[in-house]
Amino acid sequence: MTTFLRKRIISSAVPLVFVVLGVFCLARLTGNPVDLYLPLSATPGQRAEFSAAHGFDDSIPVQLWHYLTQAAQLDFGTSLRTGQSATTMVLDAFPVTLQLAGMTMLLAILGALLVGSLAAHRPNSLIDRIAGLLSMTAASIPDFWFAIMGVLVFGVGLDLLPTSGTLGGPEIWVLPIATLLIRPFGVLVQVVRGSMVGALSAPYVKVARSKGAGAGRVVFGHALRNSVTPVLTVAGDLTVGLVNGAVIVETIFGWPGIGKLMIDSILQRDFAALQAAVLITAVTIFALNILVDVCQALIDPRVRQAVPA
């Protein structure tokens, strides 16, 4: 188990390093923020002073070195946009997105396990076809459009739910979570159904049936454990995609989360905030991948033995 964990950590850390370096370089490519933050009438002297104050006049390797040494001490500099510490901004925004994403994935996985198992229980039955069509549609709806339709129908038309903002009771969660939920849910239902169908035709399920186990016990007791491994893998990949969704959802509903922070920082060349936000996202995804691997190893002994290189 320790060897397994060590190998997985090393192979997942490589992308992490590349992402951090890549964002640093790409952010520098977006141009010098001086042009954006100082008026056109600024004298060359003022521009040089602004650059020096924020370290933009150093060479790129020097800037990178500063960035890495400070990041090691959890200091990501100050945001150009707000003058706040980037760390504070990110730590304020992160829990919002984490709650949103965590709730979404939990609901998506539980819902998909239920619907997918029901569909796989009787392949080509009415339930299976309805679930198939629904999941395909859910996975293909553009999330921004779904969000706008939600606002139109429930916010404007029926006046049941708030159209944006984070003030209010539990009803503020409904539309953002529903928007984030549709794609992972649709994809996962198809994955659960696919792997369930495979598991249900396996010999050990026949044995369980012939011993007289009921339908519920066969599906949830025997087949589910075996078919949950691919579901976890796909769920891990989908969580990366959830960041895409978070950008859209937080923009539309005005949530002060990490997605909105990132897009605002990119558009306003706020390097410090962008790098901190990307780093915390990358670290979360990294931790999540490890978690998925550990869960899989715990659930399925075959994964533990066949350690990937």
| Rg for the chain, CA atoms, rounded | 24
**Shortest Cβ 92–another protein spacing (Å):** 19
Decide: is 237 part of the binding site for another protein (CB under 8 A).
Answer: yes
| Binding-site string for another protein from residue 147 to residue 166, where x marks contact by CB under 8 A and - marks none | -xx-xx---x----------
Contacts of 218 (CB under 8 A, 6+ apart): 200, 205, 208, 209
Determine the size of the site formed for another protein (CB under 8 A): 64
Distance between CA atoms of residues 155 and 143, nearest Å: 17
| Binding-site string for another protein from residue 184 to residue 213, where x marks contact by CB under 8 A and - marks none | ---x--xx-xxx-xx--x------------
Decide: is 230 part of the binding site for another protein (CB under 8 A).
Answer: yes
Strand partners, 85: 78
Decide: is 46 part of the binding site for another protein (CB under 8 A).
Answer: no
> Is the CB of residue 12 less than 8 Å from the CB of residue 290?
yes
Decide: is 118 part of the binding site for another protein (CB under 8 A).
Answer: no
Decide: is 251 part of the binding site for another protein (CB under 8 A).
Answer: yes
Q: Which one among 91, 214, 241, 291 touches another protein, defined by CB under 8 A?
A: 241
**Shortest Cβ 137–another protein spacing (Å):** 5
Distances (CA, A) of 184 to 226, 274, 278: 21, 26, 22
Distances (CA, A) of 102 to 94, 136, 161, 168: 12, 23, 21, 20
Q: Enumerate the H helices of the chain as residue ranges.
A: 2-29, 34-37, 44-54, 60-72, 86-121, 126-140, 143-150, 174-200, 203-210, 215-216, 224-253, 258-267, 271-299, 301-305
Q: Which is nearer to another protein, 48 or 299 (CB)?
A: 299
Q: Which residues bind another protein (CB under 8 A)?
A: 11-12, 14-16, 18-19, 22-23, 26-27, 29-31, 120, 123-124, 136-137, 139-145, 148-149, 151-152, 156, 187, 190-191, 193-195, 197-198, 201, 230-231, 233-234, 237-238, 240-241, 243-244, 247-248, 251, 262-263, 266-267, 278, 281-282, 285-286, 289, 309
